[in-house]
Structures are given as C-alpha cells and as structure tokens.
C-alpha cells in the first residue's frame, strides 16, 4: 500500500473563477497517514482548493493525483469511484435536515454496500458512538447543537471507512473544549484507522495540535508560500509573512 | 480469505472467540449470534477473550460487531478482555465507549391510535386557525403604526415587492387570461349558436372575466407565484436568524417584512386583474370573431354594453380581498416556519394550499353577498 510518491499529490494546480485567478502553481504532497493542513488568511482560496480536491470544482490547470491516479483527467465514472474513498465534513455539518442522524449516516451504507437493515443499524450505532452521540439516532439535525451537528457530520463522513477524510474548518463555531475534543478525535481516527486527513483551517491552536504537514496559501501572491511541518515553518521559514501568520502576528522573541 | 468465527467455552468458564479471515464491511460476514447466545446463558461465562492470530484485513465490519458483543457482555455483567484484538480495533472500541450514552437521550417509538391521531390533527387545525387570527390582529396593529408613521420599513423594499408582484407577473397573467377567454368563447359559441344567439358570447366572456374569472385566476396565479415566494423568503430568513436580528434591533418583523408585502399585493392584484380581464376579453374576441359572423364593431359594442361599472368594481373589490388573503397566508406561514430546509418547504406548500383555499372560500361568500346586494 505504501508508495513513495505520497497519497495525494497536487501538480501545478491553478484555480480560477472565469478569468479571475484565485491560486496558481500549487504543488504539494500529502503522505499516507498525514494530518495535512491547508492554511492561509481569509479569502485566499483554502476552501476552493478543498473543493478541487473533493471533486466539486474543476481546476483551470493541473491535476490532483490520488495514489498516482490523476483525479480530474480520469473520466466521470472513475472519478465517482475514487470519490467513494473520501469522507468530507462540511463547515456546519451539512446534515440532510429531512433525515434523522441515523438515516444521515445510513444513506451511503444503503447505497454502496450490500448490508442488511440490522447490520446497517449496528454500523450506524457504532459510528455515532465513535463521535460521542450514542443514543441520538432518532434526532433530527435541527434538534441538536452546532457541535453535535459537526460530530454527526463526521460520523456520516466516516460511514464508508474512507481512506481520506477532508475537514472544512472543523473548529469554526465550536467552543475551545469541543474544538480540542474534535482535534483529539481526528488524531485518534488517524492513528487507529490509518486515515489520511486533510484539514482546511486558520485556527493556530488546531494547526499545531494536529498538523504534521501543511501548505500555506497567500491571497496577495496568489500562490503557495510554503509547504511542510507547521512547527518548522513557524520557527525557520525564510518568508516573514509565513512566520508572522503562524505566530499570530506576535514578534518572534515573545513567541513560545 | 473468508471470515469465520468460532467460540468455545474453556474449562475455566471463559468464552474464547476466535476470529479468522478478512472482516470487511462489504464481505459476507458470519453472524455473532453464537457469541450473544453464550453471553445470555445462565450462568453467564466469567469472561470473553479473543484470538485474532488468523485475522486478515479488517474495518468497520469487524469493529461494529465487536462493539455489539461488548455491549451485550456489559449488559450481562461479563468482563471483556480485549488483549487479543488488534491495536487499532482496541483503540476504536475504547473511543466508542469513551462517552457514555446521555441519560434520557434515546427515544422510544410511540404508537399513536386512530382516535388519538384524529384528536391531535383536530387540535392542530384549531391552533393553526388561532395562529392565523392572531397574525391578522398583529397585521392590523402594524397597519395602525404605518398610518401613524411609526412603522420601520424600507421604501426600496416596497418598490421592489411592487415590481415583483406587478410588472414581473404580466407574462403569466397574459397567457392564462388570454387562454381562459378563448375557452369561454369556445363554449359560448358552441352553446349559444344553437339558439342563434352567438353574439351573446361577447357578454358571456366579458361578464365572466370581469366579475369572476379574472379575479380568481389572477389570485390563484399569485398564490402560486408570489405567496409561495413570500413564505420561502421569510422562512429562509427565519432559518438564518435574520428575523431574530430584526427583533433585537427593536424592529417589528411584521412592520418590516410583512406589511410592505401585503401592501404590494393589495395594490397590484387589482391592477393585474384589470389587465387579466382585458386579456381574457381579447382572447374571447379572437375566437368569437373567427367563429361567428359578426363584425368587430358589433362585438365590441356588445362587450362594452354588457359590463356595467358595478361588475367592474365588484371584480376589483374581490381581487383586493384575494390579494390580502394570499399575502397573509404567505407571510404568516413564512414567520411560522421551523428552522430547517424541510420546514421551509412545508411552509411554502402550506402557504399555497392555504392561499388557494382562502381564495375559493371567500369567492363563494362574496358571490352570495353580491347576489343579495343585487350587484
């Protein structure tokens, strides 16, 4: 399963809306089992890059390689099959409001596996237990809190045992303790399942707590300024912009 | 390799479970019933142990079953020794049981009897009617504030609502009214020609359009078009907490969101109705002139003489009533919307259904009143 080329490789990605270029010449490698952070200031195109990676927006140029297979150059059918190995947690959960939490998690299982009702019920119960929502199977999304929605969204993203989990701003809108618990959960899942995790965030606490690899996007330069371990970037990257961002604008001497 | 499960009770009362093969979610997996059955026996085994030396690949298929076994073991007071399991699976199981189920969170499905169901539905109808009446009351108060110049709303909003409910509705109103005029003329020509009274088709079309059909058809079009839009707009604002934001700024949502929309429909529906009547008469004339042996002047004179001012004003008054009912149904449902995508859909549906029911009921009442008044 291990390959030298990395699990996900971005090759010369340029993202544009019509003529308006958001980011150009993005090149980075995500290794298997990494927690990879896509970071940068507001409006730099982090979430758009995520959309390119999960198949919601086609890049203007370049391609993403998953295990050496090009994603966008492959046909629609092959891309659908590749997408089945992804799990995505959207910013506010994006749970389907007409379904209970159990039905939300069960939909992909019903669609893509041959499990019977009872087996699906067991798997759904287990997934909800994993995210700390045991007993909430029959609740509708509008009956639970924002943090719970996010965790339920994670249970849904994990329904098919994805090889890659994508998170869009996982800690946005959560209190520090819930955010920390979600970070811990991400690490536990990575450790026990060997999942590769890609996270879009600008929360420094999360970046240093979970990330071991990253890419830094800049809105002014319209390209990546750095890629690598966030701690190393903070301490020794030549570009001051990157160091300042990762120190939250504090001068270097006072940073921990 | 195919997955297999064997369980044996060892002499020291331990249930030894051996798992071999690939335990993958999508594969044909053996049931765990033998283990569950052993756990539920009295006396229960003292402990459960696992042997996974022959285990191949595994995923959720394995872990979800292990979770079920552990649940059952806990329920029967059997201790579970997870030393034999792979590290990853052990961690996941620990994670699953890390947060204990919240007390009282689980819901029990409740059977509702027929009588109870009827009762609940009836009570809901009663409470909905009361909500509607309360809303009409609030709207009256809001109009009071408006006339005293105390209501907060945006002039530009009102202009936009008037444009949406007026000019932008012209194409659909033209099409429907013209076609209805034609249909009436067809029916009229076929029947009246039998008596040699074909020219009275002009009367039939004009009176029917002006008094009844134009007001009611235009109102139904606007219930589907604008009433639904109002419910969806206000309902989505409610979901996004935009309505709450207005309230916290001390602005009355009824003043700001509802009253301008009601005014827009009350003003524009009579105008659309007038226009619809004209289009209907034109449609009728098109059929009448091509099927009857009459001149344009004859037909026009017949039409003009048939419609009195009473009929015209009566039709316009109806459209004012329908307009307010459509706007009220749309806005009330919007403000009563729940907080999910589903709820917005339900509100919109209810706004249209309620709007049409109110239109038809009030049409019947108004017709009886008009007849008694001799209009």
* B60 pLDDT more than 80: yes
Best of B337, B340, B345 to substitute, by most chain A Cβ atoms within 10 angstroms, is B340
DSSP state letters, B12-44 = TSEEEEEEEEEE-TTS----SHHHHHHHHSSSP
User: Of the candidates B88, B341, B343, which has its C-beta nearest A193's C-beta?
Assistant: B88
Do residues B301 and B210 share a domain? yes
B248-281 pLDDT, tens digit per residue, is 888 889 999 999 999 999 999 999 999 999 999 9
Kindly report the nearest CA distance between residue B127 and chain A, in angstroms.
Answer: 22
Residue A48 has a CB neighbour count (10 Å cut-off) of 20
The H-or-E segment that residue B9 falls in is strand B4-9
In 3D space, the residue among B270, B269, B271 whose CA is nearest the CA of residue B226 turns out to be B269
Per-residue pLDDT, averaged over B113-133, amounts to 91
Residue A14: inside a domain, yes or no?
A: no
pLDDT at A1 over 60: no
Contact B284, B199 (CB under 8 A): no
Question: Looking at the 3D structure of chain A, how many domains does it have?
Answer: 1
Say if residue B183 is exposed, middle or buried (CB neighbours under 10 Å; 0-12, 13-18, 19+).
middle
How confident is the model at residue B31, as a pLDDT?
A: 82
pLDDT at residue number B347: 94
Above pLDDT 90, what percent of chain B?
A: 55
Contact at CB, B99 and A132, closer than 8 angstroms: yes
Tell me the pLDDT band of B55, cut-offs 50, 70 and 90. Answer: confident
Q: Residue A256 pLDDT > 50, yes or no? A: no
Nearest CA-CA distance, residue B80 and chain A, Å: 17
- Quick one: B241 and B325 in the same domain? yes
pLDDT above 50 for B226:
yes
| B92, B241: one domain | no
Contact B169, B226 (CB under 8 A): yes
pLDDT band (50, 70, 90) for residue A219: confident
Is A2 within a domain?
Answer: no
CA distance B93 to chain A (A): 8
pLDDT in tens, A127-158: 998 888 888 989 988 888 888 888 899 999 98
Structural domain includes residue A223: yes
Interface of B with A (CB under 8 A): 25-26, 59-61, 63-65, 67-68, 87-89, 91-92, 95-102, 105-107, 109, 338-343
Answer yes or no: is B114 within a domain. Answer: no
Residue B204 pLDDT grade (very low, low, confident, very high; cuts 50, 70, 90): very high
Same domain, B70 and B130: no
The contacts found for B94-100 with CB under 8 angstroms, 24 or more apart, are B95/A130, B95/A185, B95/A188, B95/A192, B96/A126, B96/A129, B96/A130, B96/A134, B96/B63, B96/B67, B97/A129, B97/B67, B97/B70, B98/A132, B99/A129, B99/A132, B99/A134, B100/A134
Task: Tell me how close the Cα of A159 comes to any Cα of chain B, in angstroms.
Answer: 9
Candidates B67, B99, B102; nearest CB to A126: B67
**Over 90: is that where the pLDDT of B222 sits?**
yes
Residue A47, pLDDT above cutoff 70:
yes
Are B96 and A130 within 8 A, CB to CB?
yes
Name every chain B residue with its beta carbon within 8 A of the beta carbon of A130. Answer: 92, 95-96
- Predicted local distance difference test score (pLDDT) of residue A254: 46
Residue A127 lies in a domain: yes
CATH code for the domain of B64: 3.30.750.24
Distance between CA B205 and CA B213 in Å, rounded? 9
User: Which pLDDT score is estimated for A79?
Assistant: 86
Asked if A80 has any chain B CB less than 8 Å from its own CB, the reply is no
Task: Give the range among B8-22, B58-72, B92-106, B357-371 with minimum mean pLDDT.
Answer: B92-106
Q: Is the pLDDT of residue A3 over 70?
A: no
- Region A76-87: what's the mean pLDDT? 86
Output the pLDDT for position A255: 43
Looking at residue A252, its pLDDT comes to 63
Answer whether residue B363 is part of any domain. yes
Spatial CA neighbour of A224 closest among A28, A48, A71, A57: A28
Residue of A176 and B369 predicted with greater confidence: B369
Residue A15 forms part of a structural domain: no
> B204 and B90: one domain?
no
Q: Do B64 and A123 touch (CB under 8 A)?
A: yes
Is residue B292 over pLDDT 60?
yes
How far apart (Å, rounded) are the C-alpha atoms in residues B164 and B170? 10
| Parallel/antiparallel/unpaired status of strands A35-40 and A20-30 | unpaired
Check residue A83 and give its pLDDT: 86
| A237 within a domain of the structure (yes/no) | yes
Q: What DSSP element (H or E) covers B6?
A: strand B4-9
pLDDT exceeds 60 at position A253 = no
Question: Is the residue at A72 inside a domain?
Answer: no
| Statement to judge: residues B80 and B162 lie in one domain | no
Q: Pick from B68, B95, B343: which is nearest to A188 by CB? A: B95
Q: Do B67 and A142 touch (CB under 8 A)?
A: no
Which of A33, A123, A124 to substitute to test the interface with B, most B CBs within 10 Å?
A123
Residue B345 exposure: Cα atoms within 13 Å on the Cβ side: 5
Q: Is A161 on the interface with B (CB under 8 A)?
A: yes
**Cα B61 off chain centre by:** 39
Q: What is the pTM of this model?
A: 0.74
Residue B101 lies in a domain: no
CATH number at residue A103: 3.40.50.300
Distance CA B182, CA B176 (A): 10
| Residue A168: φ, ψ to 5° | -100, 110
Are the Cβ atoms of A129 and B26 closer than 8 angstroms? Answer: no
Containing domain of residue B317, as a range? 125-373
Is residue A20 included in any domain, yes or no?
A: no
Q: Write the DSSP symbol of residue B337.
A: -
On whether both B199 and B327 belong to a single domain, the answer is: yes
Do residues B225 and B169 lie in contact, with contact meaning Cβ atoms separated by under 8 Å?
Answer: yes
A129–B99 CB contact, under 8 Å:
yes
Does residue B111 fall inside a structural domain?
A: no
Per-residue pLDDT, averaged over A76-96, amounts to 86
DSSP assignment string, chain A: ---TT-SEEEEEEEEEETTEEEEEEEEEEE-TT-EEEEEESTTSSHHHHHHHHHTSS--SEEEEEETTEESSSS-HHHHHHHHTTEEEE-TT----TTS-HHHHHHHHHHHH----HHHHHHHHHHHHHHTT-TT-TT--GGGS-HHHHHHHHHHHHTTT--SEEEEESTTTT--HHHHHHHHHHHHHHHHHH--EEEEE---HHHHHHH-SEEEEEETTTTEEEEES-HHHHHHH-S-HHHHHHHTTT--GGG--
Which positions in chain A touch B91 (Cβ < 8 Å)? 188, 191-192
d(CA A40, CA A21): 16
B30-39, B153-162, B239-248: the lowest-pLDDT one: B30-39
> Within chain A, what is the greatest distance between any pair of CA atoms?
60
Most confident of A42-46, A248-252, B125-129, B171-175: B171-175
For residue A141, list chain B residues with Cβ-Cβ distance below 8 A.
340
- Which residue, among A1, A130, A133, would best test binding to B if mutated, counting the most B CBs under 10 Å from its CB? A130
The tokens describing B186, both together, are 């067809």
Confidence at residue A248, expressed as pLDDT on a 0 to 100 scale: 82
Among chain A residues, the shortest Cα distance to B62 is held by: A123
In a domain, B311, yes or no: yes
Q: What is the extent of the structural domain holding A140?
A: 32-55+81-249
φ, ψ dihedrals at B242, nearest 5°: -70, -30
Strand, coil or helix: B338? coil
Q: Is the peptide bond before A154 cis (omega within 30 degrees of 0)?
A: no
In a domain? residue B29: yes
Helix, strand or coil, per DSSP, at residue B52: strand
Q: Evaluate if residue B109 carries a pLDDT over 80.
A: no
Q: What chain B residue is nearest to A141 in terms of C-alpha separation? A: B340
Tell me: do B150 and B271 sit in the same domain. Answer: yes
Instruction: Name the DSSP letter for residue B49.
Output: E
Q: Which of B23, B25, B109, B236 to probe by mutation at the A interface, max A CB count within 10 Å?
A: B25
The reply to whether B197 falls in a domain is: yes
Query: What DSSP string runs through B62-107?
Result: HHHHHHHHHHHHHHTT-EEE-TTS-HHHHHHHHHHTTSPPPTT-S-
Nearest to A234 by CA among A39, A104, A24: A39
Per the model's pLDDT, the better-predicted residue between B141 and B55 turns out to be B141
Cβ distance A126 to B64 less than 8 Å, yes or no, reads yes
Same domain? B317 vs B369: yes
- Range B345-374 average pLDDT: 94
Contact yes or no for A82/A96 (Cβ under 8 A): no
**What pLDDT, in 10s, does the model give residues B170-184?**
999 999 999 999 999
Over residues B129-179, the pLDDT tens digits come to 999 999 999 999 999 999 998 888 888 999 999 999 999 999 999 999 999
pLDDT at residue B189 in the model: 93
Candidates A108, A121, A122: best to mutate against B (most CBs of B within 10 A) is: A122
Mean pLDDT of chain A: 86
Partners of residue A139 in chain B, C-beta under 8 Å: 107
Residue B118 located in a structural domain = no
Would an 8 Å CB–CB cutoff place A192 in contact with chain B? yes
pLDDT at residue A218 greater than cutoff 60: yes
One domain, residues B86 and B144 = no
**Residues of chain B found within 8 Å of residue A188, distances taken between Cβ atoms:** 91, 95
User: Looking at the partner chain, which of B101, B338, B342 has a beta carbon nearest the beta carbon of A134?
Assistant: B101
Asked if B169 and B314 sit in the same domain, the reply is yes
Number of domains in chain B: 2
Any B CB within 8 A of A234 CB: no
């Amino acid at each position: 399963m291990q390959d030298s080329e990395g699990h996900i490789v971005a090759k010369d990605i340029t993202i544009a809306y019509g003529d308006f270029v958001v980011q150009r010449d993005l090149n980075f490698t995500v290794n298997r089992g990494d927690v990879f952070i896509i970071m940068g200031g507001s409006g730099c195109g982090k979430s758009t890059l995520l959309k390119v990676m999960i198949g919601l927006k086609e890049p203007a140029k370049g391609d993403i390689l998953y295990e050496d297979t090009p994603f966008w150059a492959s046909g629609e059918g092959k891309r659908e099959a590749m997408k089945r190995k992804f799990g995505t947690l959207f910013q506010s959960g994006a749970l389907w409001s007409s379904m209970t939490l159990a039905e939300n998690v069960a939909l992909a299982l019903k669609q893509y596996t041959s499990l019977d009702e009872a087996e699906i019920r067991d798997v759904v119960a287990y997934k909800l237990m994993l995210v700390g929502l045991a007993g909430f199977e029959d609740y509708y999304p509008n009956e639970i809190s924002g943090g719970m929605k996010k965790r339920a969204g994670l249970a849904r993203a994990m329904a098919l045992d994805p090889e890659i989990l994508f998170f869009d701003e996982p800690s946005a809108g959560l209190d520090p303790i819930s955010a920390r618990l979600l970070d811990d959960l991400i690490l536990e899942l990575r450790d026990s399942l060997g999942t590769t995790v890609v996270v879009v965030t600008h929360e420094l606490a999360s970046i240093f707590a979970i990330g071991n690899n990253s890419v830094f996007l800049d809105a002014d330069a319209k390209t990546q300024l750095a890629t690598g371990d966030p701690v190393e970037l903070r301490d020794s990257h030549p570009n001051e912009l990157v160091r300042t961002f990762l120190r939250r604008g504090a001068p270097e001497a006072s940073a921990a | 390799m195919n997955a297999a499960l064997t369980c044996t009770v060892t002499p020291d009362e331990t249930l030894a479970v051996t798992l071999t093969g690939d335990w993958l979610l999508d594969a044909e997996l053996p049931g765990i019933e033998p283990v569950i059955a052993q756990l539920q026996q009295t006396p229960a085994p003292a402990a459960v142990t696992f042997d996974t030396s022959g285990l191949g690949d595994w995923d959720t298929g394995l872990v979800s079953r292990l979770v079920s076994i552990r649940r059952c073991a806990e329920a029967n007071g059997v201790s579970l020794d997870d030393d034999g399991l792979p590290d990853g699976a052990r961690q996941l199981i620990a994670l699953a049981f890390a947060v204990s189920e919240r007390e009282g969170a689980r819901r029990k499905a409740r059977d509702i009897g027929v009588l109870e169901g009827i009762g609940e539905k009836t009570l809901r109808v009663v409470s909905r009617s009361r909500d509607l009446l309360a809303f009409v009351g609030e709207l009256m108060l809001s109009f009071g504030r408006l006339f005293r110049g105390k209501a907060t709303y945006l002039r530009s909003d009102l202009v936009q609502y008037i444009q949406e409910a007026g000019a932008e509705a012209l194409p659909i109103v033209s099409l429907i009214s013209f076609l209805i005029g034609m249909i009436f003329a067809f029916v009229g020509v076929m029947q009246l020609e039998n008596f040699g009274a074909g020219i009275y088709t002009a009367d039939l079309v004009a009176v029917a359009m002006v008094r009844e059909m134009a007001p009611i058809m235009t109102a139904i079009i606007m219930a589907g078009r604008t009433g639904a839009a109002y419910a969806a707009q206000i309902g989505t604002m409610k979901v996004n907490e935009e309505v709450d934001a207005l309230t916290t700024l001390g602005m009355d949502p009824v003043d700001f969101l509802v009253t301008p929309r009601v005014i827009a429909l009350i003003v524009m529906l009579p105008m659309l109705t007038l226009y619809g009547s004209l289009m209907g008469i034109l449609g009728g004339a098109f059929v009448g002139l091509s099927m009857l042996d009459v001149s344009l002047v004859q037909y026009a004179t017949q039409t003009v003489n048939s419609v009195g001012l009473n009929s015209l004003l009566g039709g316009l008054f109806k459209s004012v009533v329908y307009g307010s009912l459509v706007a009220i149904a749309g806005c009330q449902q919007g403000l009563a919307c729940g907080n999910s995508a589903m709820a917005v859909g339900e509100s919109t549906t209810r706004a249209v259904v309620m709007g049409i029911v109110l239109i038809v009921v009030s049409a019947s009442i108004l017709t009886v009143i008009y007849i008694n008044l001799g209009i």
